[in-house]
Amino acid sequence: MPTVFVYGTLRCGGKNNYLLNDLQCICQQYFVEGSLFDSGYGYPIMKQNTSNRIWGELYDVSERQLAEIDQLEGYKENNADNLSERKVLPVYDDSGYQHDAFVYTAGNALNHAFDWISSGDWLVHTYLKQNNLLYFAYGSCMDDERFKKAGVDHHFAEVKGKGILEGFEFQFSRSTDDGGKADLVENKRGKVEGKVYRIPYDAIDYLYKREGVRSHSYRPAVVPVSINESIYQCLTFIGVRKSHETPPTKRYSTEIIRGGEGYLSEDYLRSLQNRIRLLGG
């Protein structure tokens, strides 16, 4: 069964994801080396290099589905003027595990695109064009105190409620000089609770600075979050370089628990407290 890495409109929430609707996603957070560009026609294209990463999803598909994707991507075997070329390339998960998959790269007809997408994530690129955004906080950003100190609490005044993210687990897998930091690690049996804010676009610059996006500490991602049993696409942040879990500082632990109180379930809060205690935080 062919394996395909998708990074554009075929992703969950994308307009062409219906072609993969009857399939289970192998992994939501894989990456391939390359640079992502906006074609200007409502879809992205990839150019190969080793300088950047492109984030996407991994699927096993049938030969029929592969042919449908070929048609969508404008690929024909032995055609010199394809929109896209289909190649077998190594793709990786957050821990560095490698999997070979079909990847569609820019063909001769699309090599003119120069509108670089710095996040390497088409879902983030399109999501941030909205006026009102939903932000899923699962770590210290659930706590309002640092928002107030930074003078940005007005951006985070509207709390939509508790959000549940399936397919991930919470870990302190971002090791820093200031202790372990909260992170999302993909796990099909996992579930992470968090606090969902409705935020304006003006809040993005603060979040990018706080999360260290430009220094590649965390990266933005768009994930499906359940709020009152309805699914919403939400912006969140995932650690770029993962490590074994390390103890958080007392201050950081306090921010997480204090921020979650009144929103997260008692069972989930207890599980966080137990994790912190077992790590020695």
- The stretch 72-76 carries a mean pLDDT of 93
> Has residue 260 got a pLDDT over 70?
yes
Question: Which tokens in the block code for residue 126?
Answer: 């399109």
Mean pLDDT across the chain: 93
Q: Which residue has the higher pLDDT, 82 or 272?
A: 272
Q: Is 98 exposed, middle or buried (0-12, 13-18, 19+ CB in 10 A)?
A: exposed
pLDDT of res. 127: 96
- Cα–Cα distance, 187 to 135 (Å, whole number): 21
Q: Is residue 254 classed as helix, strand or coil in its secondary structure?
A: helix
Contacts of 270 (CB under 8 A, 6+ apart): none
134-162 residue pLDDT tens? 999 999 999 999 999 999 999 999 999 99
pLDDT at position 281, please? 65
Tell whether the model's pLDDT for residue 82 goes beyond 90. no
Where in the sequence numbering do the catalytic residues fall?
Answer: 211
For residue 51, the model assigns a pLDDT of 87
- Token readout for 230 is 């309805």
**Model confidence at 107: pLDDT above 90:** no
The CA-CA-CA angle for residues 123, 37, 133, to 5°, reads 25
What's the pLDDT tens digit per position in 184-217?
Answer: 999 989 999 999 999 999 999 999 999 999 999 9
Q: Supply 214's token pair.
A: 């430009």
Measured distance CA(12)–CA(18) in Å, rounded:
9
pLDDT value of position 249: 96
**Average pLDDT for 64-92:** 92
pLDDT tens by residue, 217-256 = 999 999 999 999 999 999 999 999 898 999 999 999 999 9
**All domains of the chain, ordered by start, with CATH?**
3-121 (3.10.490.10), 128-279 (3.10.490.10)
